[in-house]
Structure formats: structure tokens, C-alpha cells
């Protein structure tokens, strides 16, 4: 916002000095008339996305859909919580990642289930107790707090239970763009669709016992009592029947020191190098101070899927062939950047901007435009940018990730 106002002010000043105030007023009137929209408008969306309604002159063509919001999707509400999702159906170019926003009440469960994709999660509010059963017979249990993560590989069964007075809300990320939370493998659904005599033979139970098993709609999310045991007591109980896993499937990102930090913000990078269980999904947890800019960069192998947690900002995406798009983003929005597309993100608000960058790959990788220009011979950079050697020397020499 600052840069757009500055450009406008500089343009007005130059025009005023050359042609006088009359010419300035005429030109401004013509400009306002060109972008005016006397027909119907959704003013709520216009106010939220002024950069889409009145795009910067550098925008051109189309880079595809780069914005959606969880607040625009259907929310499935159960007795015990709710869920909604943004997938390839909402952002067609997002073939590698889909996301689910889920809320679980105190004591309630996301029932025992498994997926065809890996599940990476970020706890937004509250806390939960999670379980995961491994193919080697191991059992993982942990309590996850706000700001922390877990990663459950595809095919491994798990559960999530809300703790405390308010339960929890978390973001789930899957390395499968067409993923649907409605198509998970649910324990109750399986039991319902297995003949009773086979259940009796499998469990070694009589008809009276198997008659208690769920027979209605799948549980999915359901209300329950808070766990009676502490985490240490649950761990002691399961150790009687199962081994501890070789990998830790949770990551205490809330205690992690920033990977990059300066006066304009910070980035925490979580990938398979510091979270080995997350072998297929990597992430950046970004905080931008007001006026801070996530520098111009791109990712060389995969697309970027974003979840905006707090604050307001705008993102410009360059898609080659003179295509570029600028959009405004707010909390609970999803952003998308196609693989190798150049982009930057600016905090346009008065509070810290916090968002997640997610990638369907084991390692976080990016190319910094500043770092690239400073790493090449100065004569090469000058020939391409028309900047003087002194000006090139003023560009930050390393990949700072955040500038201001």
C-alpha cells in the first residue's frame, strides 16, 4: 500500500510541475473514470481486495487462481466440531496440496481413520492429544499445543482429541491436490459395512458385543469425555502392548528459534532436515512486521500453498509471458503460487502478518532475486538492470527472505 501511494504521489508531483494543477485534475478525473464501475458490485469483496478491483498498472494477463478463502467453502458441522476444505476443486492449479481447517470441541474426537495422502498439521488454537499406530506395531501419543505441528504418513491410522476447556482448531495439509476430507477411511464406516458374523470371528466376540458397534452414519467427529489419564499415564499404558516409534511424529515449532530474523520479521523453516517424519511436506512459518516484504523469489521445483493466519497483506505473482496478478489477503485465506513463478508478499496492515508457506517436497528451497543479482558479475547485473555498480552494491547480498 505504501509503495502504491508513493508511486501515485510521485506521478502527481511530476505532472503538476509539468502541466500545472488544471492538467493534473483533468488527468486524475480521466483515470478515475476509466476504473469506475457504475454497475452492480459486491462492495464487501471490493473493500477486502482493492488490488483486484483497481489493480496496479504492472498487473497484466492471467496467472490463474491464486486466492480462495475457507470462509467461502461449505462447513460440515458435527456434534463435537466442524471441518471445511480448500482443494484443487477451488484452486484448479493446486495439484500437489489441499488443505482442511478443522475444529474439535473439548473431549471430542476426530475418529480413528487413515488417508491416501500424508497429513501435515499446524495447531492454530488450543491443544489436542493425538495417536498414531505404525506398520511396525509402534504406538505414538503426544499432546500438541498452539503453534506446534504433526505429520502422519499416508496409510497410518490415527486419532485427534480436543483438550482443555475449548478444544482446538488446526490446519491440515495433504500432499494430494484432489484430496477430500469426505473420503477418508473411517473405522466406524468399515465396521458398519462388514458382515456381523465376520466381525464376531475377527474380534472373538459374541453377537451381543458386536451388536454395540456403530451401525448408523460414520462417527467422523463426535463428542466424548476428556481423557482420564495424563499423557505420561497413557504412554505407560500403551507401552504394555506396543513399542515406541523410531520417529517423532510431532514437532514443537512454537519453541523453535527463527531460521531467519531481522527487524522486518522472521521465518521458521521446517522440513525433513529438522523434522524427519515430514519427508514429503516442508514449510515456512512467516511473520512480517508492518511494512515488511517477503522478498522477490521463486521456488525451483514445486508450487507454494499458503494459509494466512493473522493480519493483512498483498501478494504479486509473476507467471512469465507478461502475466502478473496482485491480490489482497486476510486471515483464513489461502494463497497459491505456481511452481517457479516469481512472487513477493507485503504486510499492508498495522499488525504483524503471519502465514504458512507449504510445499509438497522434503526440502524447503527457493531462489532469491537479490541473492542472484549480487552473486553474478556486477557488469552482467548492470547490463540487465541498467543500474550502476554502486546501486547494485546496495542490493542485499544474501537471501534475507524478509526486507523492509
Q: Residues 339, 365: one domain?
A: yes
**Into how many domains does the chain fold?**
2
Considering 196, 227, 251, which residue would you say is the last residue of a domain? 251
pLDDT of residue 228: 97
d(CA 89, CA 228): 41
CB-side neighbour CA atoms (13 Å) of 92: 3
* Domain shared by 140 and 221, yes or no: yes
231 domain-assigned: yes
Same structural domain, 118 and 202: yes
Backbone angles phi, psi at 397, to 5 degrees: -80, -15
Can you tell me the distance from the alpha carbon of 27 to that of 11, in angstroms, rounded to the nearest whole number? 11
Question: Residue 3 domain-assigned?
Answer: no
Q: Is 193 annotated as a binding residue?
A: no
Contact 368, 294 (CB under 8 A): no
pLDDT for residue 28: 54
Asked if 96 is an active-site residue, the reply is no
pLDDT in tens, 198-217: 999 999 999 999 999 988 88
Q: Report the Cα 227 to chain-centroid distance in Å.
A: 30
Do 206 and 79 share a structural domain?
yes
Of 212, 227, 251, the last residue of a domain is 251
CA angle 275, 278, 280 (to 5 degrees): 140
- Interatomic CA distance for residues 277 and 256, integer angstroms: 17
Q: Say if residue 135 is in the same domain as residue 187.
A: yes
Q: Are residues 143 and 243 in the same domain?
A: yes
Q: Which domain holds residue 100?
A: 74-251
176 carries a ligand binding annotation: no
**Considering the domain boundaries, does residue 151 fall inside one?**
yes
Does the residue 1 lie in any domain?
Answer: no
pLDDT score at 30: 55
For 306, counting Cβ atoms within 10 Å of its Cβ (0-12 exposed, 13-18 middle, 19+ buried), the class is buried
Domain stop point among 251, 276, 300: 251
Lowest mean pLDDT among 13-22, 92-101, 325-334: 13-22
Q: What is the pTM of this model?
A: 0.90
CATH number of the domain residue 269 falls in: 2.60.120.10
Please give the distance of CA 49 from its chain centroid, rounded to a whole number: 19
384 is in an annotated binding site: no
203 and 143 belong to one structural domain: yes
Residue 401, phi then psi, degrees to nearest 5: 65, -40
Contact yes or no for 66/315 (Cβ under 8 A): yes
pLDDT on residue 31: 59
The pLDDT assigned to 22 comes to 53
Q: Binding residue per annotation — 119?
A: yes
Query: What pLDDT is attached to residue 7?
Result: 38
Q: Is residue 329 part of a domain?
A: yes
Share of residues in the chain with pLDDT > 90 (%): 87
- Is 297 one of the annotated binding-site residues? yes
Query: Would 321 be classed as within a structural domain?
Result: yes
* Residue 301 half-sphere exposure toward CB, CA atoms < 13 A: 9
* Range in 46-55, 255-264, 288-297, 332-341 the model is least confident about: 46-55
Same domain as 294, residue 311: yes
Catalytic option among 90, 357, 366, 390: 357
* 105 and 212 together in one domain: yes
Residues 361 and 280 in one domain: yes
Q: What is the pLDDT of residues 138-159, one digit of tens each?
A: 999 999 999 999 999 999 999 9
Q: Is residue 141 part of a domain?
A: yes
**Which of 14-18, 253-257, 298-302 shows the lowest per-residue confidence on average (mean pLDDT)?**
14-18
**Within-domain flag for 330:** yes
Q: Are residues 207 and 271 in the same domain?
A: no
Distance of CA 131 to the CA centre of its chain: 23
Three-state SS string over the chain comes to: CHHHHHHHHHHHHHHHHHHHHHHHHHHHHHHHHHHCCCCCCCHHHHHHCHHHHCCCCCCECCCCCCEEEHHHCCCEEECCEEEEEECCCCCCCCCCCEEEEEEECCCCEEEEEECCCCEEEEEEEEEEEEEEECCCCEEEEEEEECCCEEEECCCCCEEEEECCCCCEEEEEEECCCCCCHHHCEEHHHHHHCCCHHHHHHHHCCCHHHHCCCCCCCCCCEECCCCCCCCHHHHHHHHCCCCECCCCCCEECHHHCCCCEEECCEEEEEECCCCCCCCCCCEEEEEEECCCCEEEEEECCCCCEEEEEEECCEEEEEECCCCCEEEEEECCCEEEEECCCCEEEEEECCCCCEEEEEEECCCCCCCEEHHHHHHHCCHHHHHHHHCCCHHHHHCCCCCCCCEEC
113 is in an annotated binding site: yes
pLDDT tens per residue across span 363-393: 999 999 999 999 999 999 999 999 999 999 9
pLDDT category of residue 397 using cuts at 50, 70 and 90: confident
Confidence of residue 181 (pLDDT cuts 50, 70, 90): very high
Considering the domain architecture, whether residues 230 and 354 belong to the same structural domain is answered as: no
Separation of first and last alpha carbons in the chain: 13
Average pLDDT, the chain: 92
The pLDDT value recorded for residue 17 is: 43
pLDDT band of 18, cuts 50, 70, 90: very low
Amino acid at each position: 500500500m505504501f509503495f502504491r501511494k508513493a508511486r501515485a504521489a510521485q506521478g502527481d508531483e511530476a505532472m503538476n510541475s509539468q502541466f500545472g494543477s488544471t492538467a493534473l485534475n483533468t488527468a486524475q478525473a480521466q483515470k478515475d473514470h476509466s476504473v469506475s464501475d457504475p454497475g452492480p458490485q459486491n462492495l464487501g469483496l471490493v473493500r477486502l481486495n482493492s488490488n483486484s478491483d483497481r489493480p496496479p498498472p504492472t498487473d497484466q494477463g492471467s496467472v490463474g487462481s491464486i486466492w480462495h478463502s475457507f470462509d467461502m467453502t461449505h462447513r460440515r458441522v458435527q456434534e463435537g466440531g466442524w471441518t471445511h476444505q480448500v482443494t484443487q476443486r477451488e484452486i484448479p492449479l493446486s495439484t500437489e496440496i489441499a488443505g482442511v481447517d478443522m475444529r474439535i470441541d473439548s473431549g471430542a474426537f476426530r475418529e480413528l481413520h487413515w488417508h491416501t495422502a500424508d497429513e501435515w498439521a499446524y495447531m492454530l488454537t488450543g491443544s489436542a492429544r493425538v495417536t498414531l499406530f505404525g506398520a511396525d506395531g509402534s504406538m505414538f501419543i503426544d499432546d500438541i499445543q498452539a503453534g506446534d505441528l504433526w505429520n502422519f504418513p499416508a496409510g497410518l491410522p490415527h486419532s485427534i482429541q480436543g483438550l482443555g476447556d475449548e478444544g482446538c482448531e488446526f490446519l491440515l495439509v495433504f500432499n494430494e491436490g484432489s484430496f477430500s476430507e469426505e473420503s477418508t477411511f473411517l473405522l466406524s464406516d468399515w465396521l458398519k459395512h462388514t458382515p456381523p458374523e465376520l466381525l464376531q470371528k475377527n474380534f472373538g466376540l459374541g453377537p451381543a458385543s458386536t451388536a454395540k458397534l456403530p451401525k448408523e452414519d460414520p462417527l467422523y467427529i463426535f463428542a466424548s469425555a476428556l481423557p482420564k489419564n495424563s499423557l505420561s499415564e497413557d504412554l505407560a499404558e500403551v507401552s504394555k502392548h506396543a513399542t515406541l516409534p523410531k520417529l517423532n511424529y510431532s514437532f514443537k515449532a512454537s519453541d523453535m528459534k527463527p531460521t531467519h530474523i531481522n527487524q522486518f520479521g522472521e521465518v521458521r523453516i521446517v522440513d525433513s532436515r529438522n523434522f524427519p517424519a515430514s519427508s514429503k511436506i516442508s514449510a515456512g512459518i512467516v511473520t512480517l512486521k508492518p511494512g515488511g516484504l517477503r522478498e522477490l523469489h521463486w521456488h525451483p521445483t514445486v508450487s507454494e500453498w499458503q494459509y494466512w493466519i493473522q493480519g493483512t497483506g498483498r501478494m504479486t505473482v509473476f507467471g512469465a509471458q507478461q502475466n502478473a496478478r496482485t491480490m489482497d489477503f486476510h486471515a483464513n485465506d489461502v494463497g497459491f503460487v505456481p511452481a517457479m513463478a516469481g512472487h513477493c508478499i507485503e504486510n499492508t496492515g498495522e499488525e504483524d502478518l503471519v502465514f504458512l508457506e507449504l510445499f509438497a517436497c522434503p526440502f524447503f528451497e527457493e531462489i532469491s532475486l537479490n541473492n542472484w543479482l549480487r552473486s553474478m558479475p556486477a557488469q552482467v547485473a548492470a547490463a540487465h538492470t541498467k543500474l550502476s555498480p554502486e546501486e547494485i552494491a546496495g542490493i542485499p547480498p544474501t537471501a534475507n527472505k524478509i526486507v523492509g
